[in-house]
Structure 1
Amino acid sequence: MKIFVLCLFLHFGKTISSDPMMTGINLFYWTLVLFCINDMSPGASADVSHHASADDIYEGDTFLLPCEFHTFDVDPTPSVLWSRYDLRPSTVHRHQKEGDAFEDQNQLYSGRTSMMTDALETGDLSLTLTQLKVSDSGTYTCSITSVRGEHRVTDVQLQVKEWFPSWVTALLVVISVVLIVVVPVVIHFYQYIISVYHVDVESGVQSVQLPCKTMRYLTRFNKVEWYQYTNIVHTYEVDSEPTGHHHIQTEMKVTPMRWGNFSLTLKNPTEDNSGSWTCSVYRDGEMLEKKVHLQVKVPKVKVAPGQESVLLLFRTTVPSAVVVWSRKNGDKSDKVHVFHNGSDQPEDQPEDQFWLYRSRTEMTQNDFSLTLKHPTDFDSETFMCTVYGEDGNILRKKEVRLNVEVCKVKFAEGEESVLLPFRTTENLPDDVVVEWRREDLNHPVHIYLDGSEQLDQQDPGYEGRTEMKADLLTSGDFSLTLKEPKVQDEGTYVCEVFNTNIRRRKTVKLQVKGGRGLHRRTRRDSADPTPLLNLV
């Protein structure tokens, strides 16, 4: 640049001078002009520096290092070299007429640099640098290499900032290590301080621990009692054998008691075990009390009306001798299915199998899951699977809550007929009785008995309007066809199929489309000659 200014000055001096003595000076002048032109030719060095802004360049970003030069005026075509002289090797990227050349590239930039394929034709020699790192910070030099040598075009200073300063990263690491070490210790001692514990567990687990920890009675205590509500479940007295409830399997470890841990292990927890538990520790007339709120979660199975079967899932690898599925019925339970001695065929079921489930159940061979055929709303209840070992001890329990939706049928007044559906197991014995009733009426809607329809006791309001299939016992289809349905027919219908050994039941709610009817019976006995009340 200085040479260029000097040339201009000499040219200006020449124009204002007419002395012939200046001939020698003029000759010297033209020599310098030619030198200036050559100095500004494409092969010369242009000392231009760019600073990349550091405010918005971070690790992981992509950045374009700018460089422009009229390489198309240089003959022969040169190559482009991007370098960082503080590195060894210093080559960041090399581009030739044939394309990119990576032979001598510094491996720190491997796979992270690129240039335009037509860079030498357009003169855009900019370098794209991807996946920036803090170590990429530095001065990048763009140079042209030709037969005349290497000429620097521009320098670009790049400053890459890290998203998180190193001191922040180090601090986070220290905090994480402290939390990993401190939090379990805090939780451990917190259990010794709190007075009420909350424990949630899924039905089907082998056991659950009800915590009771204290730092008060670490050495001497006389007795420990565990209650569920007001019932004593487990008692431990020093120098005595522990006692428990014969229906509930419990266990306490002696060694942890020396360290103030009086926790109770409850085996095979069920929904009946949910609720409030109390741990009382006695020492020389003093008493320490802690409470545990236990919640045993029972899985729910929802079934749409008319579904062919439902699977009550229980998969476990516990070896078993006997598996018993039962259904809760108040304080007692009804036996649903028994798997014993490798067989669960209908003829192998016990005599006390509940008659509602005879010939309707089977177990999966690979696990203890139960298939219940033709479920109805009367099956909506909690089922329990109990697995027994060869010694008769309970190995595992699981509960499943089944919810079968009530079947709903809608009709419009004036329709030719409406079907109240009910399908169950096929090939039922000839002595079964089939009875359709409506809950608010005393007389049945339809009766099938001794192989034929018995309509002499039928409610007069349904006379001549009900019909069932002829092969109902063989097909297991006990659906009722109600002809010419009326608004007064709206209500809840129950079908029962039974004899001395089996029983099937289903509810069907019959509704008028668009809302309830205006006219409705108000007495249970429709045979009463008194006119029905008209509700408007």
Structure 2
Amino acid sequence: MVWKKQSKDFVGGLLKLSVEFVIVVLLVSQHALALQVEVYEGAESVLLPCRVSFFLEDTTVLWHCDDLYPEIVHSWRDERDELTGQDQRFRGRTSMASDGAESGDLSLTLRQPHLSDSGNYTCLIRKQSSELTLTLIQLRVKVSPVEVKVQEGSEFIQLPCQIPPPLPEDARVEWSRSEPKPIIVHVYPNSSNLLLEEFFCGRTHMNKDLLKTGDLSLTLKYPTDRDSGTYTCTAHRDGDVLRQKVVLHHVREKFSVWAKVLLALLAVGLVAGGGLAIYFWNYFKTISRMEVVEVVFGSKSVQLPFKATTTLPEDASVEWRLSGLMLKPTIVHVCKGGGDQADTQNAEYKGRTEMVKDLTDGDLSLTLSQPTDRDSGTYTSTVKDRDGRILEKKQLTLKVKVPQVKAEEGVESVVLPCKDMFRPSADDTVEWSRPEPWPMTVHMYQNSADYHEKQNWIYRSRTEMKTDQVMNRDLSLTLKNPMAFDSGSYTCTVSRDGKVLKKRNVQLLVTETDSSSLLTDHQE
């Protein structure tokens, strides 16, 4: 079989000796690639994928869940289930393929998934007293969203959300909306206008006795077409997080008489030459464009431009915030009275941001050093006077681009590009590395030749850099027999005497040959 041949090339006989196997297990037992699987509650089943490309002999396959560890979700050995120590929650709901040892398919089928099944699942193999973690799965069991419609002109609409009462006094409820950007709509208790989107201020309220009734529904006043979208009700209770999604559809009224007359006039205008139609089109059309700044992953820095249109007072303050996948914006940089307020910014950005000290010249641009893909998102800069009044505001989008290479398991090889660099000298070192599932050297090139001494055993005999290409400033890496395990971020670094001269990143995604998606909803 193909997987046996790949296994033989990949491991190079390493797993044939049990002693060497134990050493490998001890080195990598704490590391895994996190995959995400989503499914709706009520589905017939969900598959948690786990595959290997080497032969399993005298080993036990274990599935664990972080919330229950060390309790067992499922155990399998010698092509049969061993469910003596299985947690009661999963009894009768789990199964694995009977030919898993031969096919390398150690995936777990979980039937009738519940909300309480959400969590981190680990697939590992055990040999004697050592363990090797293969896969980390983040399972998310979702509730089917409730759909609500509201007619145009309605005074209010209620977004339903119910959980079993009673709720403790310290319970916290948060209503949010995910599009067109993540925003907070309402918070209980003590909603703070500093956290809420201005568009919803004064238009939302919740029942005062919600702790007793469990009715967490949100009343939204004077709904408009801009309110359409997906809302999430999130309740924090005794360490548990409960979520319910509601999709709001704003339905416009049927055309009134005056609207029909207007359409008739527009039609006449079109027939007459389109003059009237163009007038109304330009009158009603609204264009909202946000400036986009793009930078390549690994660049030294990127500047987010902002030039004030008015003269600013000396005591003006400027705050840069980032909003992306998170609901609450992150403070990136704060400058007040010509001085940076480092104690207020997020720890991830300390030492990486800079603004000019004198704000009176109107240059409010932010310089962000060493941008990564985690920095992508919408940045909002707000200028205020000493009384807190907003003087100016600007939004822009930062996109940190990382080259991505895709391949399927079973192909002969894949090339990780790193071109247009420079020709390394004999004193330079070219190193390909990856930070996860643990820091490792994938390939090293020194003195115009491959250097295998520091190369991780996983990539032995599977990587190659061609000398003729290197001489042409092409430091691309050829990876043979790519597997799903190889997916992740790779960095090509050129250094001299320990000093980094150039660095380039590339993302590799290796999919299974059946091209099945990990983010699927299994419906009945």
**Superposition TM-score, scaled by structure 2 size:** 0.33
Which of structures 1 and 2 has the larger relative contact order (alpha carbons within 8 angstroms, sep 6+)? 2
